[in-house]
Amino acid sequence: MEFLADEYVIAWFIYLGAFLLLYWAFSKVVWYLPLRILRQTLKALLALLFLTPAASPQAEGWLSPAWLQLVYAAILGEEAQTGRLLLNYGIGFVVMLVVLSADAGLYRWRRRRH
């Protein structure tokens, strides 16, 4: 089954739209948590889980959601693929921590100035 490039882009836009709807709903759920950093961390983990891409093993040069590939690799027992996907998540987690640290620092700096 071969997809055209247009179908690939449309599929990613639909996926992104569905994620934005999920993110909006999740933001409403976590709004009641008392600590801002906890809310931001949970929302970042949601984004990390669903928006981390991975190179598709079936189509060269194309990306697919890493969580989907991780589930398939775990079910099929492909340890090498599972390790690569976990490495993708590890890199994404480090980037997430850097962004959250910068966000918290900027938020604190802005609050001190006013």
Residue 113 in tokens: 């100035």
Enumerate residue ranges in the chain where pLDDT < 50: none
Under DSSP, is residue 63 helix (H, G, I), strand (E, B) or coil?
strand
| pLDDT for the residue numbered 19 | 97
Per-residue model confidence (pLDDT) at position 82 = 92
pTM: 0.83
Q: Which CA distances in Å does 93 have to 8, 23, 77, 104?
A: 26, 18, 24, 16
Can you give the pLDDT at residue 22? 97
The distance of Cα 3 from the centroid of its chain, to the nearest Å, equals 24
Instruction: Say what the pLDDT of residue 2 is.
Output: 60
pLDDT for 87 equals 94
Q: How far is CA 74 from CA 36, 48, 51, 59, 86, in A?
A: 34, 19, 19, 20, 11
